[in-house]
Structure 1
C-alpha cells in the first residue's frame, strides 16, 4: 500500500492553514493510497480535525502507520501534540496522540499519552492504564455519533487531567516501575525527519512528583466534588444514549416506511395517468366511430319518403287475406288483454267482479273473431280449389 501524502510538521503560525491543506489532500486520495474511512463521513472527519487544530493549536493532524493488537497495520489519521492542563495554579502540556481508527467517527478515537523519558505514568490512575491508553474517560464511554467530536473530547480530558494529572516527573532515585511498552507507531516515510524524537512540538514542562503536603483540604474537596459531578453528568449521558439511539432507529424505520409508501403512491399515480391516457384514446376512437355512423345514417336516409304507417307496410293479396289478417290480429290482441287481466287479478289490482265482466265480454268477442276466422279460412280454401279447377285442362266428353 502506498503511504498517504507527506505530513510535515507545521509551524504554529500556519497550523490552521496546514490542517486545511493537509486534510483536503489526504482525504481526497483514491485507490491504493486512500485512507480507510467511509466516503460518507470523510467530510465530518475533516471538520473534526480542523476544529481541533483551531481550538488546540498544539495538536496537529498527521497520517502514520498504526499497528493493531492483532498485527494488522493501516495508515490512519492522528492528532499529534500536547493537551494543555491547569493544575495547582500552573499550566502544563501533556504529550498525547489521538488516533482515528477505521470506524471513526461512528466509534470513538484511541487516545494515548506518550510521556517523555523524564516522565512516568501515575500508577492506578482512574482514566489512564499503564500503557498510556486513555481507556476510562467518560466522554469516550458515552461517545455518540454524530454529535460527539474531538474538541469536546480534548476539553473534557484537559479538565479531568487538571484535577488528577496522569504524568509525573521521575524522581532522582525512582522506585522500580515495570515498563509497559506503548503500541507501535510507525510514522510514514514521507513524514520522517533526522530527529529521533517522534514529536514535533516544544518540550513539555515537567509535572511535580507529588502533591504539595500543604494542599488545602477545601481545594481537595472541591476538586473531588467537581470530578464526581463530571462523572455523574457523563453517566447520565451514557444512560440517555440507548433511548436516543432507539428513537433515532425508530425515526429511520419510519422514514423508510414513508419512503416505501411514497414509492407505492408514485407508482399508483403513474398507473392512473397511463390508464387516463388509454381511456382518452379510447374515447377519441368511440367519438370517431360515432361520427362515421352518423354520417352513414344521414347519407342513407336522404330521399326517403318519410314515415310509413305500420298498416301500410304489409299489403294483402285479396279481400279474404285482409279479413283473415284482421281476425287473427284481433284474436291475439284479445288473448293478450285476457292475460293482462289474469295478472292484474293475481296482484289484486282489479276487483273480482270487474274482472269477471271484462273477461266475459272479451271471451265473447274472441269467440266471434275465431268463428269469423274459421269461415274466412273455409272461403279461402274454396277459392283455392276453384282457382285450381280453372287452371286444370278441359276434356271433351
Structure 2
C-alpha cells in the first residue's frame, strides 16, 4: 500500500470529525504540512477542564528553530478546536523525558501551553507555527535535563525527537 501525503491523511481525518469549517481546516493543515513537514497529522482525544472529551485533529512532532547558529527541534503539538478558525488552535510544547520546560517563559506556561491570545480568525495555521518559531528562536522554551545543572539554557533536541504527552491526551 502506498504512503499517503500528510495533507491527504489529514483531509480524511477531518472528514471523520466535526469541524465547523472543514474545508478551511483541510487547507490550513495541508499548508503547514508542506512548510513544516516535521509536524504530522493525527487524531487524538482531548479532555477539557470541564471533563468533556472530544476527538480533534492534531499536528504533532517538532518545530525547527535556529538558536545561536544551530538548528534545534522543539517538540510540539497543535490541537485544532472544533470551532477553528473562529476559535484559536491550542499549541503545547511537549518536552521529551530528557527535557524540561524553561521557567519562567514569556510564551509557554509551565504545563507547556503556549500563549495564543494574539490569534484572530483571519490568521492561518501556518501563522501560529511561524510565530512559535520566531518566539522559540528568541527564547527556547525547553532545555536538556542535566544532573549538574538545575535549569536555564538552550534549545530542544537536535535530532527529530517526538513529543511526550501531557495530561491533555487520552
**TM-score relative to the length of structure 2:** 0.84
User: What SS is found at the alignment partner of 1:81?
Assistant: strand
Decide whether the 8 Å contact of 2:46 with 2:53 is kept in 1: yes
Alignment of 1:207-226 (within 5 A): none
Decide whether the 8 Å contact of 2:47 with 2:54 is kept in 1: yes
Structure 2 counterpart of 1:184:
168
Q: How many residues align?
A: 156
Q: 2:118 aligns with which of 133, 139, 142?
A: 142
Query: Which has more strand, going by share of residues?
Result: 2
Structure 1: gaps of 5 or more residues: 1-9, 30-34, 187-397
1:163 aligns with 2:138: yes
Q: Which is greater in Rg?
A: 1
Q: Runs of 4+ in structure 1 displaced over 3 angstroms?
A: 173-176
Structure 2 counterpart of 1:104:
84
Structure 1 counterpart of 2:158:
none
Aligned-partner Cα distance in 1 for 2:60–2:111? 17
Structure 2: gaps of 5 or more residues: 152-164
Closer/same/farther in 2, CA of residues 126 and 23 from structure 1, 3 Å limit: same
Higher relative contact order (CA 8 A, sep 6+): 2
Alignment of 1:53-92 (within 5 A): 53-92=33-72
Alignment of 1:243-392 (within 5 A): none
Measured against aligned partners, the alpha-carbon deviations of 1:303-337 in whole angstroms (never above 9, x if no partner) come to xxxxxxxxxxxxxxxxxxxxxxxxxxxxxxxxxxx
Aligned-partner Cα distance in 2 for 1:129–1:24? 31
Aligned-CA RMSD value: 2.0
**TM-score relative to the length of structure 1:** 0.37
Measured against aligned partners, the alpha-carbon deviations of 1:197-253 in whole angstroms (never above 9, x if no partner) come to xxxxxxxxxxxxxxxxxxxxxxxxxxxxxxxxxxxxxxxxxxxxxxxxxxxxxxxxx
Aligned-partner Cα distance in 2 for 1:56–1:113? 16
